[in-house]
């Protein structure tokens, strides 16, 4: 009975949230043609929150006392599933954009939308020129007051656990002296697992940890910074996995 209930429930939620996504996303694309994305942040934010509600997830957001919402920052988060952008944009109280593989910008409509909305292309095959271009675009975004989000693992988790963070994004933060805000998305893997279409009833909790300044961090300390941020992000995720195992059907 439990499997039948979850199957029917998931099918209904995918249908409802999918229709909402198609209709509202089309309207946002049309709006983006005429209005700069920074001027229509509110409808985008409402859209993202509604997607999570319609998919059956409850969101809870915790901000650490040391989180500075006024600072343009580099947010670094664990990567769970395709709902990550909707969860993050619902939780961060700032205008925010992200890094996207360069090849994605070649996808019809989607690629144009990513470019129009101000996301930063990341070379599929890293090269000195490509990485330098990415850094320049990221610096321009920071200088104009746009915070950026990065998934430092580089790929979605397959078991719910936080994978090792890659060093590159931390070198960028250190080079430009951009504050880092670690983010832990907890419960999202139990809600939806990549490779399985089922949507489970689950609360997703987002922890916005204290802002970490990087202005006084030297190049030799970048790896220590990477490990520090990884440990902060991973702890609530790993603790939750122990207390709330993934439901299997």
Task: Return per-residue pLDDT of the chain as tens, 249 residues.
Answer: 888 898 999 999 999 999 998 888 888 878 877 877 777 788 888 888 999 999 999 999 999 999 999 999 999 999 999 999 899 999 999 988 888 778 877 877 777 777 777 788 877 776 677 778 788 888 888 998 999 999 999 889 999 999 999 988 999 899 999 999 999 999 999 999 988 899 999 999 999 999 999 999 999 999 999 999 999 999 999 999 999 888 777
How far is Cα 225 from Cα 164, in angstroms, rounded to an integer?
13
Residue 234 is part of which domain span? 57-243
How much is the pLDDT for 54? 94
Beta strands, E only, the chain: 57-63, 74-77, 96-101, 120-122, 147-151, 180-186, 202-208
Residue 65 falls within a domain, yes or no? Answer: yes
Residue 204 located in a structural domain: yes
Q: Is residue 52 part of a domain?
A: no
Residue 143 domain flag? yes
Pair 96, 148: CB distance under 8 Å: yes
Residue 185 lies in a domain: yes
Give the closest residue to 193 by CA, choosing from 32, 53, 68, 82. Answer: 82
In a domain, 35, yes or no: no
- Domain assignment present for residue 47? The answer is no
CB-CB contact of 147 with 40 (8 Å):
no
| Nearest CA-CA partner of 236 in 197, 170, 187, 166 | 187
Pairing of strands 96-101, 120-122: parallel
The count of domains in the chain is: 1
The answer to whether residue 190 is domain-embedded is yes
């Amino acid at each position: 009975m439990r499997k039948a209930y979850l199957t029917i429930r998931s099918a209904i939620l995918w249908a409802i949230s999918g229709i909402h996504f198609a209709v509202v996303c089309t309207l946002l694309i049309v709006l983006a043609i005429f209005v700069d994305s920074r001027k229509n942040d509110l409808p985008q934010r409402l859209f993202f929150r509604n997607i999570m509600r319609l998919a059956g997830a409850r969101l809870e957001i915790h901000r650490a006392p040391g989180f500075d919402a006024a600072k343009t920052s580099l947010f670094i988060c664990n990567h769970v599933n395709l709902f990550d952008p909707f969860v993050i944009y619902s939780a961060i109280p700032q205008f925010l954009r992200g890094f996207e593989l360069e090849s994605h910008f070649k996808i019809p409509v989607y690629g144009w939308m990513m470019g129009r909305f101000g996301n930063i292309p990341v070379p599929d095959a890293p090269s000195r020129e490509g990485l330098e271009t990415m850094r320049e675009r990221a610096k321009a975004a920071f200088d104009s007051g746009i915070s950026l989000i990065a998934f430092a693992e580089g790929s979605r988790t397959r078991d719910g656990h936080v994978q090792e963070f890659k060093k590159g994004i931390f070198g960028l933060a250190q080079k430009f002296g951009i504050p880092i805000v670690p983010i832990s998305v907890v419960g999202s893997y139990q809600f939806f697992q990549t490779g399985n279409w089922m949507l489970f009833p689950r609360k997703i909790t987002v922890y916005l940890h204290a802002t970490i300044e990087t202005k006084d961090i030297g190049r030799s300390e970048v790896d220590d910074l990477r490990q520090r941020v990884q440990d902060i992000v991973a702890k609530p995720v790993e603790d939750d996995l122990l207390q709330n195992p993934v439901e299997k059907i």
